[in-house]
Structure 1
Amino acid sequence: MKYGPARIRYERRKRRRQKLQALNGLWNALSIILGMATVVVAGYVIWRMSNSSSSVLANEIATATIERYDPIATSTLEPEIKPTFVKNEVTLIPTRPMPTVEDESLYTFDLQASPESISATLFRPDRTCNWAGIAGQAFDLQGRPIPGITVQVTGPMYGKDIQFLSITGSAPIYGLGGYEIFLTDKPSDTKGEYQIRLVDQNGRGLSKRFSFDTSSDCSKNLVIVNFRQIK
């Protein structure tokens, strides 16, 4: 079938419009794909930046926590561990514990007399040079023995500061308020390395800490320390 000039021009314009429509559809599809790719890339970059910032922040917090750490000994069961800081590494150095600061006005007991060293064989004949310790009693305001009070002794043992505990009344050989603490199986000379005090059930001091000496003399292997109530 033959077309006239007008028909031919119409068909040409029609094919041109179809090509433009196809190109527009392709361009729209490419634009959508490009937009989605941009969103994905941007999200990945933001995630990486956020993750990196969180890691840095966590590291800074951990470092700050370590550097603020400054322990104060409240127990003498083990040597105090005092940290020193070199970059981000912690070096632990054992040191002697510091006594806990307490209100001395609350103390209700004092020493009845200065510590005295005698022979343990006066109470137990078998305790010669294979035993060293401390013993005594606690008395109330009327001079009566008081059982049930905790006696705490701290001192060196095999290079560490150890805590020893006893209860008044647990060693009646020294009296109704008697206590006894075994220190070592070999008497030795020490000067003020051991301390003794009375404490309540929560570990708070009922008396000051009193230092006492020990002797390598087997006839002075028992230290006698008695307490008296003052208020």
Structure 2
Amino acid sequence: MNFTDHDELDRRMKRRKRRQRSDVFWNILTVLTLLASIGLIGALLMIYSNPFISINPFPPPTLPVLVIIPTSTATPVVLPPTWTPTVGITETPAPATSTPVILPSETDASIEVFPTAAGNSLYTFGLQATPSAVNSETFKPSTGCAWQGIAGQVLDLQGRHLVNIGIVLKGTYNGKTISTQSISGTHTEYGDSGYEFPLGTTPIASTGLLSIQLVDQSGMPLSEQVIFDTFDTCDKNLVLINFRQVK
């Protein structure tokens, strides 16, 4: 080997060492770049999950404090449990001749009615007295025994006559269904607020088949339903049922 060969070997060795140093540098740089990329990705994930983290260079603006404005609460309107209609009162002068008022006697046959207590009643009207069965000639002398019916009157709290109050009669009489209506003040022979329901021309006995009730103009009940009997004798061919305002 001559001198020239030695020089060539030295140059090759130097080039190899330079390449090795260069490879080490690039390897280190690659590792650092990889670590930096991993750290950057981790930081981005942390910022994404919590934008308000301290490492976020561009944190979102702080939201203003939520102001809760109170809202008004509607107060429900509570209606009374029952509606009490206002009825018109007609004052009439006392008649020249007084109309007899027939009160029930202990000998009258039983007439079934629903109990009416002025203090606890849900209705505006109740019975003035226990219904009674009398001879129709007391009020209608010309009828004799060839007539049967129901009649009465309607009074206010002060005992004054009330007219134009609806009265409904329902039930069964002589095998036929009855559903008819009248108003107070149409038969003044029983008083200025008198009413009447003719049933037939022959007294017939019935038990609990007929009922009577006061109603307003829309058909709403103003009194409890009164169930009563009829009788087949001439001295009890008229059933008197009087109503009076209780509140």
Task: Tell me the TM-score range normalised by the shorter chain.
Answer: 0.5 to 0.7
- What's the counterpart of residue 209 of structure 1? 225
1:127 aligns to what SS in structure 2? coil
Q: Quick one: which of 94, 97, 117 aligns to 2:133?
A: 117
- TM-score with structure 1 length normalisation? 0.53
SS of residue matched to 2:189: helix
How much does 1:129 deviate?
Answer: 2.2
In the TM superposition, residue 130 of structure 1 has moved relative to its aligned partner by 1.5
Partner residue of 1:141?
Answer: 157
Structural mapping, 1:1-231, within 5 Å: 106-157=122-173, 159-231=175-247
Deviation for aligned residue 1:181: 0.7
Question: Cα distance 1:113–1:105, how it changes in 2: closer, same or farther (>3 A)?
Answer: closer
Q: Secondary structure at the match of 1:219?
A: helix
Partners of 2:187 and 2:228 in 1: how far apart?
20
C-alpha displacement of 1:217:
0.3
Corresponding letter in the other structure for 1:187:
P
Cα displacement (A) at 1:106:
4.4
Which is greater in Rg?
Answer: 2
Amino acid at match of 1:161: T
Is the CA contact (8 Å cut-off) linking 2:213 and 2:225 kept in structure 1?
Answer: yes
Structure 2 residue runs of 5 or longer lacking an equivalent are 1-119
Counterparts of 1:185 and 1:110 in 2: how far apart (Å)?
Answer: 30
Please state whether the residue corresponding to 1:121 is helix, strand or coil.
helix
CA distance in 2, matches of 1:221, 1:144: 27
Residues 114 and 161 (structure 1 numbering): CA distance in 2 closer, same or farther, change over 3 Å? Answer: same
Matched residue of 2:203: which SS? coil
Q: Distance in 1 between matches of 2:123 and 2:177?
A: 24
Between Structure 1 and Structure 2, how many residues are aligned?
128
For residues 87-124 of structure 1, give each alpha carbon's deviation from its aligned partner in whole angstroms, at most 9, with x where no partner exists.
xxxxxxxxxxxxxxxxx964100001111000111111
Unaligned stretches of 5+ residues in structure 1: 1-103
Paired letter, 2:182: S
Q: Alignment partner of 2:160: what SS?
A: coil
Q: Answer whether contact 1:171 1:178 (CA < 8 A) is retained.
A: yes
Q: Tell me if the contact between 1:150 and 1:198 (Cα under 8 Å) persists in the aligned partners.
A: yes
8 Å contact from structure 1 (residues 128, 219) kept in 2: no
Could you say which structure has the higher helix fraction? Answer: 1
**Greater strand percent: which structure?**
1
User: Counterpart of 1:172 in 2: which secondary structure?
Assistant: coil
Q: TM-score, normalised by structure 2?
A: 0.50
RMSD of aligned alpha carbons:
1.5
**Helix, strand or coil at the partner of 2:153:** strand
Separation in 1 of the partners of 2:227 and 2:130? 10
Q: Distance in 2 between matches of 1:214 and 1:159?
A: 14
Q: CA deviation at 1:158?
A: 5.0
One-letter amino acid of the structure 2 residue matched with residue 165 of structure 1: Q
Aligned-partner Cα distance in 1 for 2:132–2:174: 25
